[in-house]
Amino acid sequence: MEGFLSVIGKAAIVYSWLFTDRHTSLALDITHRCNLRCKHCYFWREEHPSELQDGGMLFLMRRLRKEGLRAAIIYGGEPTLRLDLCRAASGIFDACLIFTNGTHGFPDIGRAKWILSLDGPEKINDEIRGTGVYWEAVNAVKKAARPPLVHMTISRLNKGCVEEFVAAMAELPIDGIGFSFFTPEVGDDSGQCALEPYERDLLLDEILSLRRSYGHIVGMTEAMARQLRSDGDFFSWNNALRCPVHKRVRCFSPDGSPKMCTYGDKADCSKCGCAAVAAYRGAFHPLDMKTLLMVFCLLGMPGSSLLRALLRPPVKKTENKSHARKELFGKMR
């Protein structure tokens, strides 16, 4: 019965996206604490007011669910530091994604899906996230009861290793790899991490080429790439008034206070690289079945993974790992 109600809830989310302009989703930082100190992360550098206790956080989640938010993305800090809240969110919302750095494994949390943040193959990832983090996370993936998604934030620190990273991830039991571009805060890119528009365009070409080589495990469609391209739709939404995340997702800090977006109040929309915007706009502006299927898989719609597997385009097996880079360099010459 619970599973049936959850399916109805997921269908209601898609209905709202298609036919209403309501908020549908919650993005909640359940903690500001983290056991890592990633180079590109501004979260741990900032002062934060004390976070809500478990009771307050549960009350907030239940209240927002009653107000009609059926989907949730849980962030931190590191959410596994409050595992009971992860489990609670999984039960409260009809669809729930939870980001983690993977160093505490992938405990069973019910129907919610883990998203593992990694930023490259071992050397690059560990330069950014800390020594030993890559293998800790990868070994945990191998033991996970359900395959997690993997998410890479591409910045100046790791832009040269996307292909190598995808090749490494393709060997693991994962559900797919998503990509964002690093989004700086207004007036502060102290790590000089943000990429120029032309660099992002070239990387999008590379990722799409990797999708042709590795198949749907590479979570980027043409329609999604168009949202992030400087010669595509990027400049039609990259401000808070037009951004769909701002319109559809209510975002909260660990103390329960609302914020402009998942990246915080100071996020520089003009340089936004948000994967959620790319997926949402890619699926619905205009309707694109490949991206919609990806969104259904993210929501955990029954049958969507099977359908994705059945509709999988033929992977170019004869092409080796250097295929995408050759194609990219061909374009650059």
Residue numbers at the binding site for ligand SF4 (CB under 6 A): 34, 36-38, 41, 43-44, 76-78, 101, 117, 183, 238, 240, 243, 245-246, 260-261, 263, 267, 269, 272, 274, 277
Distance CA 260, CA 267 (A): 8
Map tokens 């993005």 to a residue: 27
Provide the 10 A C-beta neighbour count for residue 278. Answer: 30
Q: How far is the CB of 155 from ligand SF4 (least distance, A)?
A: 11
Distance CA 255, CA 257 (A): 6
Q: How far is the CB of 29 from ligand SF4 (least distance, A)?
A: 9
Map tokens 């990868």 to a residue: 138
Nearer to ligand SF4, 90 or 101 (CB): 101
Distance CA 184, CA 46 (A): 14
Nearer to ligand SF4, 37 or 326 (CB): 37
Q: How far is the CB of 247 from ligand SF4 (least distance, A)?
A: 9
3-class secondary structure, 154: strand
Q: Which among 278, 269, 268 has a CA at the least distance from the CA of 204?
A: 278
Q: How far is the CB of 16 from ligand SF4 (least distance, A)?
A: 18
Nearer to ligand SF4, 255 or 327 (CB): 255
Q: Which among 119, 126, 125, 117 has a CA at the least distance from the CA of 149?
A: 117
Nearer to ligand SF4, 167 or 260 (CB): 260
Q: How far is the CB of 253 from ligand SF4 (least distance, A)?
A: 13
Nearer to ligand SF4, 240 or 307 (CB): 240
